[in-house]
Structure 1
């Protein structure tokens, strides 16, 4: 270990942290730590009111540290932070993959980048480069561009180029691939059982495309890949982070962890040890979110990093390299030219959502009558989706057809009364991934047995069409809901 001072080590340790915080403005502890050298800040839906407020927040952050990396998880699909309270005006990755027009994907990402840059955000934890191989995946699903590696690869590359052209750093996630699992790493450790050759043919294809497209960052996944490392999750594995990502794939940008507090690693290793192991494995930045967005956690992690260097568990050269990579990304972000948002962006998002619709129906099946009844079936949303994010058809359809009524169900029990309320009115059944929820699939079958004339709208990952009239949106964003509402209302 070099003879660095305690202040030097603490500064480098602070530089590699990207903590979240509570509230709509920076708390005093965060301002102080930024002045001391904290490298980045992660924003979540809890920090957002509207764009004017976010711009004020990021300006306050930069008043303490002009080149701070301000990061956010803005996939601009079902996972949105900037629009968590109103729903995303974009159709999302799965819809873009269904359209399969990489030029459109690049244009959409460019508008997203302009929007983020205009409010002072410099780093986006997106795009999702996972291949959603397992239809029962509880955490990826509509966040992926699809289940075909080449399709995911070309749209991942297009998204990255569009976002970075707008001056916001992109981050391909979740390396080496989170699509082929039915376990959510927020809760437990997924295991990708693919062989090395299968990884090369599937999971790694979009990440190679991302690197070729010049992606500035890659986010690690908290899962085990026995074909590469039988013991440690990817985030903590040198074989994955350094040997594979840096060595074999040739990635030279920033490696950032997924939320270090996620139970897939924190339950077994604890926050402090997981942070040290991730840095030793090759990660350069540690994302800290969840319920650990406070000064005590940020201080504990900084002190744990310093102690690990002093004990020899973390080479100082590795910490210095990580801090230098953070500084390099910060410098790129500060220097990148920013482009003002385009007022036509909202119309582009809605146009894309319209293009994504896939309709199975008899001729002249639309529009429905002016007084539809909508039954929405509420799944258990994955942890990546902000719980306050609106979705569904009742609200957007009521804007166009004011006599619209409906109900949202989270179980089969209230279904008979809901079906009774729909008598004499056109019925619209709205589902998300019924193939993953037996109660929802049963409720859908029961509904169609009573009302075979119902319109079925699938706002998740579409499986086999159900019912004579079926509409797939490939996502549940505000734009997707509006596109279906227009169709049903004959607009």
Structure 2
């Protein structure tokens, strides 16, 4: 049985019988874990092992583990700083900023792989334009070039630990104030403005070998009336066509 296109979540620290049944469905391809699924490293390792043993090939198990505000597993894991801290170091010493970012990417991936998690939805490639509070210090920097350099270093660290990287939130979430978890943000900039700034880190990371991309739940009203994650223009024409991305596209949470 091959893996399906749907990634599901589960309710608690162990799988319920009905969850096992859903995860065995041929349309299921993976599981995303949250803080509610975590108690200790030993417990999460057992949960991941149970998920992997349900199917062959095993379902993919993922988590949002960026550091700072977005780190689902806390107790027993290293508290990673928000990646904006590496941007601050970059401003003083770019080489040191890259080294620290690579180390953090390696550490994050090493600890997750040790409990069996296949990958984290990271790094964030959004440019911090000083507008989006939901992005904020989740972004490496206000400069697209700095974001690309620091994210590349983070990905190198992930790869050293045996983990693929997923960049988010294409084509850029940093230009809107509204939080896409509770609203539908609308970015009114032109395609040219977005392409010249926000898309730069994605384009560079694709060149560097980025394996996955997650689109934003944002409407870019001067470009397409559909949110990017549902947009043929953004996903097929721009991401697949113009940027030549051949990796995996992961939808952001459809319950948002």
**Fold shared per TM-score above 0.5:** yes
Question: Is the 1:161–1:213 Cα contact (8 Å) retained in structure 2?
Answer: no
Corresponding position: 1:260 with 2:254: yes
Corresponding position: 1:81 with 2:81: no
Shift of 1:197: 2.0
In the other structure, the counterpart of 1:92 is 82
Query: Residue 171 of structure 1: which of 155, 166, 180 is its match?
Result: 166
Give the paired residue count: 248
Equivalent position SS for 1:39: strand
Question: Is the 1:156–1:209 Cα contact (8 Å) retained in structure 2?
Answer: no
Question: Is the 2:165–2:210 Cα contact (8 Å) retained in structure 1?
Answer: yes
Question: Is the 2:185–2:217 Cα contact (8 Å) retained in structure 1?
Answer: yes
In the other structure, the counterpart of 2:239 is 245
Distance 1:218 1:167 in 2: 18
Query: Residue 102 of structure 2: which of 101, 106, 111 is its match?
Result: 106
Distance 2:36 2:195 in 1: 38
Gaps of 5+ in 1: 1-10, 263-491
Equivalent position SS for 1:172: strand
Corresponding position: 1:22 with 2:18: no
Distance 1:46 1:252 in 2: 33
Question: Is the 2:52–2:60 Cα contact (8 Å) retained in structure 1?
Answer: no
Distance 1:42 1:210 in 2: 23
- The residue correspondences of 1:153-164 to structure 2 (distance < 5 A) are 153-164=148-159
Q: TM-score, normalised by structure 1?
A: 0.49
Shift of 1:86: 7.7
Corresponding position: 1:71 with 2:62: yes
Distance 1:237 1:32 in 2: 32
Distance 1:79 1:59 in 2: 24
Query: Residue 199 of structure 1: which of 194, 198, 201 is its match?
Result: 194
Distance 1:245 1:167 in 2: 25
Superposed CA RMSD in Å reads 1.7
Question: Is the 1:216–1:254 Cα contact (8 Å) retained in structure 2?
Answer: yes
Corresponding position: 1:236 with 2:245: no
Distance 1:97 1:249 in 2: 26
Question: Is the 1:138–1:184 Cα contact (8 Å) retained in structure 2?
Answer: yes
Question: Is the 1:157–1:210 Cα contact (8 Å) retained in structure 2?
Answer: yes
The CA deviation string for residues 377-399 of structure 1, in whole angstroms up to 9 with x for no partner, is xxxxxxxxxxxxxxxxxxxxxxx
Distance 1:46 1:257 in 2: 21
Distance 1:87 1:194 in 2: 40
Say which structure is richer in helix: 1
Gaps of 5+ in 2: 91-96
- The residue correspondences of 1:357-376 to structure 2 (distance < 5 A) are none
Distance 1:158 1:30, change over 3 A: same
Q: Which stretches of structure 1, 4 residues or longer, exceed 6 Å deviation after superposition?
A: none
Query: Residue 116 of structure 1: which of 104, 112, 115 is its match?
Result: 112
Shift of 1:194: 1.9
Equivalent position SS for 1:31: helix
The CA deviation string for residues 341-378 of structure 1, in whole angstroms up to 9 with x for no partner, is xxxxxxxxxxxxxxxxxxxxxxxxxxxxxxxxxxxxxx
The CA deviation string for residues 134-191 of structure 1, in whole angstroms up to 9 with x for no partner, is x241210010001111111111111122112211221100011000111111111111
Q: TM-score, normalised by structure 2?
A: 0.91
Q: Which structure exhibits the higher relative contact order, with contacts defined as CA atoms closer than 8 Å and separated by 6 or more residues? A: 1
Shift of 1:236: 0.7
Shift of 1:88: 5.3
